[in-house]
Structure 1
């Protein structure tokens, strides 16, 4: 069962920008895990471990305020320190029940007066959101069976059955061979989602109608994210994919399920360090 949890945080001292990188937030997540299960924390720290989670960059504004359209744009790098007392939020998604279950004690025994450390700064976790709210569309939870059963199919008669509007909220890139590509082709996006769905859902799709998916609207640009160790180039923006031609209803349903699953799984590289955050947008 995938969960998309939003942790509301309050820094007690300024957070320098060099400690707001994906690498430092990844380390904070492992610290949270190790606080309730040190063995699991050690395993997730292993570079070869199965990483059934994704993380967001630290956000200092409401997603609705930040980017419009329900938070279609997020902040992925900070040039200035985050001042003490600034309400922040941080999204953690968990892709399988085992990981969520082993962290249950962390969620249930949350002490809002217990400080966590991000570089030199102390942070309090003031609350955790796990269900969708109008001002926080990145929080949600659903079983894999629900995602599949509620996915649109050919009998719905709605345009959105064949229209998949995805927003790339943090820089996204895909690995092809030895190199990265930033172009969000149907193969890169939907095969990434399919791989994660088949790995964790227990409802395997043997294949999907990739050849029937076509981009019909593209509004993207590249962003460069650099730190002292590396440079990451990815795209942000929106792409509308449409399912065209004669396609079996079950195939349409599977593709829709993957588009809805994008909220939890993300796509592409470095999703455990804040990159590749995407979700589906529905017309209001």
Structure 2
């Protein structure tokens, strides 16, 4: 998918600084090219996620821990690739020497400082499985920003606002996926990040009650899609665009109206919903649904549907145990078995799911046995 935003000039990676030291939010767009035609494997965003975290780990162990598991809310988001793809069999093919875009965003001051450090030692290539990508240039996808400036902009904004969800976006509700841009879910997603990283948190209950009462969907154009995303499981999400308006009574209290507009400005940095560090929930300001959303490879849809099928099977078999733990185990077994059926190596699966190899091996055996037992008379 070609992005509509006019390209910003490439950053001078030899510059002494890329943005002010006070910057708390930044979004970078990398232009990359494959040297040869190559196929993207279904869960390639997991590979981008792993590559990025490994890059940071090599530079700064403390920052790596902060990004990886030091925060209940992750201070970064990653997109998938966008550009000209060719459908090939059940996958998407990247074309040799064709430019593609990839975004990395940070929305805490330590993360933004770490990104600046990384840019000064940026490698020439992204080591993605079966699809090495040469890094041609880096530019700002969204301007360097602070949370205080977002609030100031919020005070100066009025009227309706449109958001475009350019990769599958979803929320969790009562243990299931909710593939709809319901205002309370959308703005709760942004508010969680805001309250975690901004210096002026808001009362979540009061603000979300205000959203529920006064934020109106004026227009939308949506399409649902099922994808395999993240370390395990599948996601039913949506892509498209929505326009939100405010009821005439929304001006009271004024600080909530200001926060509403500030959070819409936060969206392009943090993304929407869950698994935004694995390419889901990429969000842009404005109505962009006239552009085709990135095509989801049929192999990825097949994998997602197989994971769903196996998860339901294993959950039913473990019904006596119940609870979130049984569901998590079922998702792990399902993801491992579905990927093994697709030909992924157990070593690769273990690394991407952050499981010890022997644990992944045991889960694979148990999952295969459970699947076979389900077909026994």
Please classify the TM superposition score into its range, dividing by the shorter chain length.
0.7 to 0.9
Q: Structure 2: any 5+ residue segments left out of the alignment?
A: 1-23, 289-377
Q: What per-residue deviation string (whole Å, max 9, x for no partner) do you get for residues 28-50 of structure 1? A: 21122123224433554449765
Q: What per-residue deviation string (whole Å, max 9, x for no partner) do you get for residues 99-149 of structure 1? A: 1212322112335xx33310133322222112xxxxxxx433211111110
Distance of 1:54 and 1:120 partners within structure 2: 23
> 1:141/1:47 Cα in 2 relative to 1: closer, same or farther (>3 Å)?
closer
Distance of 1:13 and 1:35 partners within structure 2: 28
Distance of 1:3 and 1:165 partners within structure 2: 21
Distance of 1:204 and 1:170 partners within structure 2: 28
The match for 1:219 is: 221
Q: What per-residue deviation string (whole Å, max 9, x for no partner) do you get for residues 147-169 of structure 1? A: 1101245xx6xxxx131211111
> Does residue 275 of structure 2 align to residue 270 of structure 1?
yes
**Matches of residues 69-148 of structure 1 in structure 2 within 5 Å?**
79-110=91-122, 114-130=124-140, 138-148=141-151
Alignment check: 8 A CA contact 1:259 1:279 kept: no
> 1:28/1:13 Cα in 2 relative to 1: closer, same or farther (>3 Å)?
farther
**Is the helix fraction higher in 1 or 2?**
2
Distance of 1:199 and 1:185 partners within structure 2: 22
> 1:98/1:148 Cα in 2 relative to 1: closer, same or farther (>3 Å)?
same
For the residue of structure 2 that corresponds to 1:239, the secondary structure is strand
Higher RCO structure (Cα 8 Å, ≥6 apart)? 1
> Does residue 250 of structure 2 align to residue 238 of structure 1?
no
Provide the alpha-carbon RMSD of the alignment.
2.6
**Matches of residues 199-218 of structure 1 in structure 2 within 5 Å?**
199-206=196-203, 207-208=206-207, 209-210=210-211, 211-218=213-220
Distance of 1:12 and 1:19 partners within structure 2: 20
Q: State which structure, 1 or 2, has the greater radius of gyration over its C-alpha atoms.
A: 2
For the residue of structure 1 that corresponds to 2:30, the secondary structure is strand
Q: Structure 2 residue aligned with 1:180, among 170, 177, 195? A: 177
Distance of 2:69 and 2:233 partners within structure 1: 20
The match for 1:17 is: 40
Corresponding residue pairs, total: 253
Q: Structure 1: any 5+ residue segments left out of the alignment?
A: 67-77, 131-137
